[in-house]
Amino acid sequence: MKTLSIFFGPLLAISITLMTGCSDSLTSSSTLRDPKPAAETERGWDSYSSTILVKPQSFVFLDSTVTSLSWIAGYMISNCEITSRNLYITASNIDNNQSLPCNWKTNSSLMLKDLLIQNLTSRAIVIDVKLNGIGVE
């Protein structure tokens, strides 16, 4: 019984420490600040907006689990300079080697499934992301 209590005490303490001390932000390459779930806009599109800290040489992936949008019809990304190569933007359903622009709006039936925003610099970048699209049903 004494042997069991000697091992059980530290094991319990370690388990509690791991469960409360570890969080996604310790291993994540980006930090979401003030996330706003999809909300109906006046044009009939659902929307998502958030301020995101993208760490150096890392990326943030915005898909329907994060944005509640199944399809993206347009987006605006602040603090973005594609020409100076600070960010690289792409989507999983776009076959393109070049970055998408900082602002984009569909003019056809083409919509984006998700967005991957990669920080190409050696410093963290804070971006504001605004998306419009079709919400998850």
Q: Is residue 21 part of a domain?
A: no
Q: Is residue 78 part of a domain?
A: yes
User: By percentage, how much of the chain surpasses pLDDT 70?
Assistant: 69
Q: Is residue 6 part of a domain?
A: no
Q: Is residue 9 part of a domain?
A: no
Burial of 32: CB neighbours in 10 Å, binned 0-12, 13-18, 19+: middle
Residues 8-42: tens digit of each pLDDT: 555 555 655 555 554 444 445 555 555 555 555 54
What range does the domain containing 125 cover?
27-135
Number of domains in the chain: 1
Residue 128, helix vs strand vs coil: strand
CATH assignment of the domain containing 61 = 2.60.120
pLDDT greater at residue 10 or residue 99: 99
Q: Is residue 2 part of a domain?
A: no
Q: Which of 4-13, 40-49, 110-119 has the highest mean pLDDT?
A: 110-119
- The whole model's pTM is what? 0.69
Q: Is residue 86 part of a domain?
A: yes
- Show the 3-state SS of 62-74: ECHHHHCEEEEEE
Q: Is residue 99 part of a domain?
A: yes
